[in-house]
Amino acid sequence: MSLWIDKYRPKTFEDLTIHPKLTKRLKKISTTKDIPHLLFYGPSGSGKKTRILCLLRDLYGPDVDHVHSSRKDYKFKSGGTAELSILSSSYHIELNPSDVGVKDRKVIQETLKEIAQTTPISSYTSLKDMMKKGTKKNFFQKQTKTEKEKEKEKEKEKEKENEKEKKIGYRVVILNEVDLLTREAQQALRRTMEKYTKTCRLILVCVNVSAIIEPLRSRCLLIRVPAPNKNEVQTLLEGVVKRQKLTAPTMFLKKIVNNSDLNIRRAILMLQSAKIDQYPFKEHQFVPLPDWQIYIADLARSIVEEPQSPKQLLVIRNKLYELITHCIPTDVIFSVLLQELLLKVDTGLQKETISLAAYYEHKSKLGSKPIIHLEAFISHFMVIFKKFLTDFY
């Protein structure tokens, strides 16, 4: 059974229904065949990756979908190693350098240097150029005169359509979660992208564009992909339901939209999960939340309702380790935990709680061990919460 999010992902610009102005802008960029470095930013699940893949298909053709996954080992001259998962085709490579932590600078330099030494084998535009040069004539020498004339007319029409097409002599490197890179890695990326701009183009993807250094932003064309509105997400869900030949009450779909935080990926996954749990859908059917979100809500409850003591803090530490080992991002833990805590504390304590969360989240981005900053935030909150209760009563 395939995931609906992959099954119904738009393949071309024509399939995209959300943000038509942005789609038109990207289509215009792709017609030049000589794209600049791009920086896509916007909330999770807004469609950044989908639009990037549509852009690559428009540039290189359907062969860009022939992707294989591999694990690459990096050995550095200064000592040390790193291992990273990479998705690649003949025309592009996709990786997440922030996964290797403080070694991200070396990984970026090694990867771009390696790619810069190679160029794509061919592109569909260059194949068309070969056809224009007369490759077909070698295979159809026995054609009649009228058939040759028809073939020439067709070739002339194709030449008119493809006047703006050029041979693409560069590969594309997609770097995910650029906002999580260290400052040193971003500085190295700025220098490297200038050096190898002739043989590769960079497409950077991030959520928080303010975390990108200004020299790096200024060298890219910024593409903002905003979150869809509720009506657009509901329309997408209705389309998935129709293509799956199912039926779903409108109220049930609205419930999913409200619980999805306008995240298209999450909304479709929630719909598929609900289908597995119970079908036919009912108007007041329970919409399952992600396990990690339920886990964080339970963590917030234990912080507030259980006695604030060192023993309880040790229990909470184990729960935090559980979240981190399951690859839940630190900023997501901070955000969801803060939302749950604000629902459980008095309004007089909310402002200080928000300030604490912002302070320790910022500290976590400067450090390399998120558990320290998460635990510091919770312990500090437990102190002020216990003091608040003592003063109140």
Give the residue, 334 or 82, on which the prediction is more confident: 334
More confident call, 190 vs 82: 190
Separation between Cα atoms, residue 12 and residue 23, nearest integer Å: 10
Tokens of 52: 């990037």
Confidence of residue 280 (pLDDT cuts 50, 70, 90): confident
Q: Please report, rounded to a whole number, the percentage of residues in the chain having pLDDT higher than 70.
A: 85
State the CATH class of domain 4-122+168-224.
alpha beta
Say which CATH topology domain 293-392 has.
Answer: Zinc Finger, Delta Prime; domain 3 (1.20.272)
pLDDT at 144 over 80: no
Model pLDDT for residues 161-188, shown as the tens digit of each residue: 454 344 667 788 888 888 888 888 888 8
- What Rg do the C-alpha atoms of the chain give, in angstroms? 26
Give me the residue spans of the domains in the chain.
4-122+168-224, 124-161, 231-277, 293-392
- Length in residues, the chain: 393
Mean pLDDT throughout 327-347?
Answer: 86
**30 vs 156, more confident:** 30
Average pLDDT, the chain: 80
Taking the model in full, what pTM does it have?
A: 0.75
**Please, which pLDDT band fits residue 138 given cuts at 50, 70 and 90?**
very low
Whether residue 360 is predicted with pLDDT greater than 60 in this model: the reply is yes
Residue 175 pairs with which residues in a beta bridge? 95, 204
Q: What gap in Å lies between CA 89 and CA 123, rounded to an integer?
A: 12
The pLDDT of residue 358 is above 50: yes
